[in-house]
């Protein structure tokens, strides 16, 4: 069965680095990818753009393709947005379909700090997005939990709904949402770091202008 992948983030704003990584993961896994803007992230400051503004930017960024799909369920949830709650909901809705939670290498290394992190392996596979040759330093607690879970081929994820880990080598793009916000606030136009459609409507990037 084809897996369904999940790529979350504040997307404040959505930029080409996000889209490139999600698209390559979709190709590597032969999967649709849910692009899931977070509600109230528990480990970082709240986004500058509102939920509605971030959704509007994502709708523009995801036009004219079918691999990457907007999913706004976390924005409808009150309180802090925990990944484990989202995965419980997705598992209930998708039965035995393989689910793949996509995480950057740094986020994966920090997994033991997440709410209910061990339960994630009961709910989904995890795809670790990394540069070619990159290997994150993992805490011992995470090594013990994951050493037996690694697989080499995406096909190995299709026969099980959850529980495995795979490293996905993707093209690095040194694009920072923080830097993009700084440039826009300074009156500059980071045109080749953002989807071109975001410049067609002046209101889309208004949250970042001074």
Answer yes or no: is 210 within a domain: no
The whole model's pTM is what? 0.95
Residue 157 has φ and ψ, to the nearest 5°, of -85, -15
Mean pLDDT score, 42-69: 93
Q: Is residue 208 part of a domain?
A: no
Give the tokens for residue 64.
């004219």
Residue 209 lies in a domain: no
For residue 13, is the peptide bond before it cis, meaning its omega torsion is within 30 degrees of 0? yes
Element (H, E) at 168: strand 165-169
The answer to whether position 128 is within a domain reads: yes
CA distance 158 to 166: 12
**Higher per-residue pLDDT: 174 or 12:** 12
**195 inside domain:** yes
pLDDT at 44 over 80: no
Residue 141 lies in a domain: yes
34 pLDDT more than 90: yes
CATH code: domain of residue 18? 3.40.50.620
Say what the pLDDT of residue 25 is.
98
β 165-169/150-151 pair status:
parallel
pLDDT, mean over the chain: 94
User: CA-to-CA distance for 151 and 39, rounded, in angstroms?
Assistant: 32
Segment among 44-48, 105-109, 140-144, 189-193 with least mean pLDDT: 44-48
Structural domain that includes position 142: 4-203
- How many domains, in total, are found in the chain? 1
| pLDDT tens per residue across span 73-131 | 999 987 777 999 999 999 999 999 999 999 999 999 999 999 999 999 999 999 999 88
Specify if 97 maps to a domain. Answer: yes
Tell me the C-alpha to C-alpha distance, in Å, between residue 187 and each of 102, 138, 182, 183, 190. 34, 40, 9, 7, 10
């Amino acid at each position: 069965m084809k897996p369904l992948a999940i790529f979350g983030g504040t997307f404040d704003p959505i930029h080409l680095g996000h889209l490139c990584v999600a698209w390559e993961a979709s190709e590597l896994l032969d999967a649709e990818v849910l692009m899931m803007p977070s509600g109230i992230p528990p480990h970082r400051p709240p986004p500058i753009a509102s939920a509605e503004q971030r959704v509007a930017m994502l709708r523009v960024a995801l036009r004219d393709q079918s691999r990457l799909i907007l999913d706004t369920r976390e924005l409808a949830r009150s309180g802090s947005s925990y990944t484990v709650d989202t995965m419980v909901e997705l598992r209930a809705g998708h039965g035995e379909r393989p689910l793949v939670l996509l995480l950057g290498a740094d986020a994966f290394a920090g997994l033991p700090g997440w709410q209910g992190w061990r339960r994630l392996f009961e709910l989904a596979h995890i795809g670790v997005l990394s540069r070619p040759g990159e290997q994150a330093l993992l805490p011992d607690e995470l090594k013990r939990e994951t050493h037996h879970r690694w697989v080499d081929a995406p096909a190995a994820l299709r026969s099980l709904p959850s529980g495995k880990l795979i490293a996905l080598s993707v093209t690095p793009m040194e694009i920072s949402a923080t830097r993009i916000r700084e440039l826009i606030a300074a009156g500059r136009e980071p045109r080749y770091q953002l989807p071109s459609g975001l410049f067609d409507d002046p209101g889309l990037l208004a949250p970042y202008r001074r």
